[in-house]
Amino acid sequence: MLDTVQQPTTSSHESVVPSWTGVVRHLHLTPRAFLPMRSMPEIVLIAGKGIEGDRYMIGREQGFYSHKPEEGRQVTLFEDETLVALKRDHNIDLGPEEHRRNVTVAGVPLTHLVGRRFWLGETLLEATRLSIPCRHIEEITGKAIFDPLINRSGLNCRILQGGIVRVGDAVRNDA
């Protein structure tokens, strides 16, 4: 028998405290546009710059979109749950190395984080904007994933505090 469950009575926005804890599932980088993303056990984030060895690190700029400089694109994240949804809803197998974001996380509501700060392992990030899907990924993967990735194509972030991020690290809100 089900117990009676009481709905929360508050409707104040200020009282809503985001409550989540996620985990880093995969880490990837690549030094140049078009090249395959390589799985890494750990990556080094440099505050205000980017990921050591990655194509979008400021000062390196060898990515497909490097001709469009963006200070808030130092590290990119992607939800592991989206990979599950692509398979479930569209029967598309997309690996964590194929979405071309750097960090695949689980249990993190990326779309809620724009404008917020959060901890990725020992590093502190500020989410600048949602990533948008691009035809470039379809060109590289040969998979029709543009439409299914609209509104869930990841998150662009600025690095406020650098450090080493490892697979298995916790991801948590900056309370």
Partner 1 sequence: MSAAPITTVKTVVETIEDSGAGVKLFSLVDPDHWELPPFRPGAHIDLHLPGGLVRTYSLCNDPADDCRYLVAVKREGCGRGGSVKLHDEIRVGDSIGVSLPRGGLDLPDDIERFIFVAGGIGVTPFLSAAAFLKRTGRADFALHVLSRGEPPLRRLLAPLAASGHLVLHDTAARARPELAKIIGRQQCHIGLGCCGPESMIDDFEHAAGDWPAGRIHIERFVPPPLPVDPNAKPYTLVLARSRLETRVAPGQTMLSAIQSLNVDIPASCCGGICGSCKVNWLEGAPVHRDRVLSPAERARSLMVCVAGSADDRLVLDL
Q: List residues near partner 1 by CB under 8 A.
A: 30-36, 38, 61-64, 66-67, 69, 135, 139-140
CB nearer to partner 1: pick between 111 and 141: 141
Phi, psi angles (nearest 5°) of residue 148: -65, -20
CB atoms within 10 A of CB 153: 24
CB nearer to partner 1: pick between 31 and 48: 31
CB nearer to partner 1: pick between 32 and 87: 32
Q: Using alpha carbons, select from 131, 136, 137, 146 the residue that is nearest to residue 79.
A: 131
Distance of closest approach, residue 57 Cβ to partner 1, in angstroms: 12
By DSSP bridging, strand 42-46 and strand 123-130 are unpaired
Distance of closest approach, residue 24 Cβ to partner 1, in angstroms: 23
End-to-end CA separation in angstroms for the chain: 38
Distance of closest approach, residue 135 Cβ to partner 1, in angstroms: 8
